[in-house]
Structure 1
């Protein structure tokens, strides 16, 4: 059992603190305007828990401008000269910090040894959280079988789709679906806005291989501007469902969207070309979108219920292998994901790998599409590997163009010098 402690020195930066106190006292005595900035910087320095070794490092704190950082560096040089002559103790702060940390480590090690000895003597009791995790793991391992005729198909609607911004319109989506006699249920989805499940009498739920992301034209424009479009597209591609549908609604006359209409249509075309399992469907308004969902529900009823297909649960790897063999689609036995597995794997707060976090980080940069981000991660799986590659370059100019020739997307186009320089600047700049 690991113990996590917060190590906080009483005074990590005594030298810098003393200098700032002296300058603040002088500024207050002469009633200078700089006293406000100095007071703010001194407070930030006192609250900072780690030692700083130069004025440049102080720039991360509030109140430390370029002038104040330069003053600290000048004062530090004079202090080092005096210390080298034996007049002052050199690196006293660093030594003090190391000694205190070593003392804390020894205390923690002794405490951990005592706790481990006590745990060995006492029988282990599972906590409520551990029991829940164990039950969830067993549930995911359990195989679900649904015989033909023992299940019904239900459309699941994300909770955000039923809470309109306009208070006068109460659950418009749900109202339309009820009018169209579509069996549906509202619950929170971690990916997509609509999907279909097969549910049996025992309450088991398997997800049919279709998922819908609904966007109005103005929402599509804003999601492209802030990077959500690429992130959502990546999460949809990673969820495991082979058929992804973008349901795009017109927004009036599609004017004043924030981006040119041609740019939005091009983004949708690129998404469809770059991924064979993405389908784009256009509708005139919200009601027409719900009519489309009713049509898909009816088609799935014909495909699964009326065709008397038996269903069983599979994991994501098995589902991907199944989707690659089109001959299996006509089989009377179909493997599907469990809803709980899809929900947990697609959750935003699920445990992501370093590679997945790296992709999401790259997507926040301007001009970085999902294909470009994936091409970078294929070559350098983690930020650490990319930084090491930059460090091996002979010059900064070579480092700036390190990624320029990297081929991306179906057409294998090079990343380009501009984007390569942008990525280098982001990861190599001091903040």
Structure 2
């Protein structure tokens, strides 16, 4: 054993001696032949600068709800796998998922990088090449140094400014690293305080969605979280990316949930202390407001109103508690809504929105007759693409053109609670036969507008030759009104349709003339950038649960209520199949869904439908 160890040591010494001779022959000092120590860790990506730019573009697109985020995400994955350094954006064209647009963006940023840091600036490292441009571009997300922030806070008379001064780590050379503290009344300052105060409420969930966070933070900020300043594309919300980068804010889940990190909680506590005063002293007295979106508490209230109204008069709520308005997230909110998300009386117009399909294609002459009738009646309308319904109304903000600018500022719009689906009687027959009728009612229910209306045109002699009997059509319209809760209005022709839209528009203008309208976000929908029309897209990405629901509703006899009841028990196809596997016999599998109760009357789904669903998912051959 001793001889073996000695031989190994001798062999090692010989190798070292041989290496020294080899380096000496090459003209290198012998002392540099062997370098001991840990190897320098290589960068996981040889193009970190390009990777950083693409990540910024993806995050910006994700915050704005743009679909280009997926394109950037694919490009990032391709760039991470590429092992060689790139010298220009054009060279990236050889990579998968890199098109001309992305390559041009990278090339433009690279030229700007050379212009800012010199022609010889390194591009294969992040040292000194990223932070400086970001600080210049994100003016809304930057802050003064800590000492200036503390001085500003003390000058404003809030006191406790010393609590904000805390030494951070030390950089190379012994210089103290200044801690990031957002300026008072900026977006970052408001977001930190809003999240911190929300977490102090008993029973708080510990996070906030985007819309509710903006709503709580808006009173604490001087700039708007939704509307950029004139000549700028940034809002107060732009500073959130800086908070995430500084590890003060955490963004998780989809829709996004925002919560404070440990560092964020510590900084928010000091910001709260610098504010001074208690929560009761901070509370401001609000003028009395009316809840415009209170849900109806009495079943059948709509039916009573409809019976009291003449046939030619549109059904509109008469009490203040029934008035609803919908904003960018398909619903309305009155509690703690910031002024930037409200439309004051006499500051907006009620405008009828007409789907462009109602004016083009098919019988153009007949469709143009509707437009001419609306113009003749003096109705203010706007033709646009609507992803749900054929007509709806919006409250459009009145804007004043800015001197020196070519176009006026973009006007905000809040969607009112009324949407109309218009059907010719022959088209109604076709939609019932091919299944579009149920699908359209399903989408109208989900759009968030609480007053859907079906406008059915008899079409005169054209309605005498139909593919369905009159009794079937009567039953379908009765079910639409009684079961689905839609208001069904029957008219004779296009002229009567235009008259109905005219009366509806004037009734809504009268109803909302002295109202303050507020934008409301639905709980759980954090990505408030997606507007109502975008949220009602017909072919948007769907969850597994939604696809399962659509599959169930294709089965004859399964309505929306029955599908919803089945989804409460088995949310996916996989969970349903697992339940079938646990059943001991074939009979038990066929009756698995029969006892599920649905609807207001809590009726059973029944053995026939239960057997049909089982045969669809678990047996070959046709259904029996």
Regarding TM over 0.5, the answer is yes
Query: Which of structures 1 and 2 has the bigger CA Rg?
Result: 2
**1:356 aligns to what?**
546
Matched, 1:156 2:84: no
SS at match of 1:213: strand
**1:6 aligns to what?**
none
On the 8 A contact 1:191/1:347 being kept in 2, the answer is: yes
SS at match of 1:149: coil
**1:294 aligns to what?**
502
- Aligned to 2:596, which of 382, 406, 415? 406
Query: TM-score, normalised on structure 2?
Result: 0.44
Aligned residues: 298
Q: Within 5 A, what are the aligned runs for 1:64-103? A: none
What is the rounded CA distance, in whole Å, between the counterparts of 1:133 and 1:121 in structure 2?
20
Deviation at 1:397, TM superposition (A): 2.6
Distance 1:285 1:133, change over 3 A: same
Query: TM-score, normalised on structure 1?
Result: 0.62
Distance 1:340 1:157, change over 3 A: farther
Deviation at 1:282, TM superposition (A): 1.2
What is the rounded CA distance, in whole Å, between the counterparts of 1:152 and 1:297 in structure 2?
11
**2:469 aligns to what?**
260
Distance 1:271 1:149, change over 3 A: same
SS at match of 1:195: strand
Q: Within 5 A, what are the aligned runs for 1:241-320? A: 241-252=449-460, 254-276=463-485, 278-305=486-513, 308-317=514-523
Deviation at 1:121, TM superposition (A): 6.7
What is the rounded CA distance, in whole Å, between the counterparts of 1:116 and 1:232 in structure 2?
50
What is the rounded CA distance, in whole Å, between the counterparts of 2:563 and 2:454 in structure 1?
21
Deviation at 1:371, TM superposition (A): 1.7
Distance 1:294 1:167, change over 3 A: closer
Deviation at 1:295, TM superposition (A): 0.8
Compute the RMSD of aligned alpha carbons: 3.0
SS at match of 1:270: helix
Residue-by-residue CA offset, 1:367-386 (whole Å, 9 max, x unaligned): 22212211211221111111
Distance 1:115 1:395, change over 3 A: farther
Matched, 1:117 2:45: yes
What is the rounded CA distance, in whole Å, between the counterparts of 1:146 and 1:417 in structure 2?
53
SS at match of 1:343: helix
Deviation at 1:275, TM superposition (A): 3.7
**1:173 aligns to what?**
370
Residue-by-residue CA offset, 1:95-147 (whole Å, 9 max, x unaligned): xxxxxxxxxxxxxxxxxx99943465766114666534434586469952211
What is the rounded CA distance, in whole Å, between the counterparts of 1:303 and 1:170 in structure 2?
29
On the 8 A contact 1:274/1:410 being kept in 2, the answer is: no
What is the rounded CA distance, in whole Å, between the counterparts of 2:522 and 2:555 in structure 1?
30
Matched, 1:213 2:421: yes
Deviation at 1:418, TM superposition (A): 2.6
Deviation at 1:252, TM superposition (A): 2.7
What is the rounded CA distance, in whole Å, between the counterparts of 2:521 and 2:612 in structure 1?
39
What is the rounded CA distance, in whole Å, between the counterparts of 1:200 and 1:375 in structure 2?
41
Q: Within 5 A, what are the aligned runs for 1:322-337? A: none
Deviation at 1:341, TM superposition (A): 1.8
SS at match of 1:374: helix
What is the rounded CA distance, in whole Å, between the counterparts of 2:43 and 2:458 in structure 1?
63
What is the rounded CA distance, in whole Å, between the counterparts of 2:452 and 2:529 in structure 1?
16
Distance 1:425 1:339, change over 3 A: same
Deviation at 1:283, TM superposition (A): 1.1
What is the rounded CA distance, in whole Å, between the counterparts of 2:459 and 2:584 in structure 1?
53
Residue-by-residue CA offset, 1:317-348 (whole Å, 9 max, x unaligned): 499xxxxxxxxxxxxxxxxxx99621121112
Matched, 1:144 2:341: yes
Deviation at 1:279, TM superposition (A): 1.2
Distance 1:406 1:186, change over 3 A: same
**2:139 aligns to what?**
none
What is the rounded CA distance, in whole Å, between the counterparts of 2:473 and 2:517 in structure 1?
39
What is the rounded CA distance, in whole Å, between the counterparts of 2:394 and 2:51 in structure 1?
43
Deviation at 1:409, TM superposition (A): 2.4
What is the rounded CA distance, in whole Å, between the counterparts of 1:190 and 1:115 in structure 2?
47
Matched, 1:419 2:609: yes
Structure 1 unaligned regions, length at least 5: 1-112, 320-337
On the 8 A contact 1:158/1:188 being kept in 2, the answer is: yes
**1:131 aligns to what?**
60
SS at match of 1:349: coil
On the 8 A contact 1:274/1:409 being kept in 2, the answer is: no
What is the rounded CA distance, in whole Å, between the counterparts of 2:376 and 2:593 in structure 1?
54
Deviation at 1:174, TM superposition (A): 1.8
What is the rounded CA distance, in whole Å, between the counterparts of 1:411 and 1:396 in structure 2?
29
Distance 1:390 1:178, change over 3 A: same
Matched, 1:192 2:394: no
Deviation at 1:430, TM superposition (A): 4.5
On the 8 A contact 1:164/1:172 being kept in 2, the answer is: no
- Aligned to 2:581, which of 371, 391, 408? 391
Distance 1:213 1:231, change over 3 A: same
What is the rounded CA distance, in whole Å, between the counterparts of 1:430 and 1:354 in structure 2?
23
Structure with greater helix percent: 1
Residue-by-residue CA offset, 1:65-113 (whole Å, 9 max, x unaligned): xxxxxxxxxxxxxxxxxxxxxxxxxxxxxxxxxxxxxxxxxxxxxxxx9
Deviation at 1:185, TM superposition (A): 0.8
On the 8 A contact 2:379/2:505 being kept in 1, the answer is: yes
Residue-by-residue CA offset, 1:379-409 (whole Å, 9 max, x unaligned): 2111111111111122223212222232232
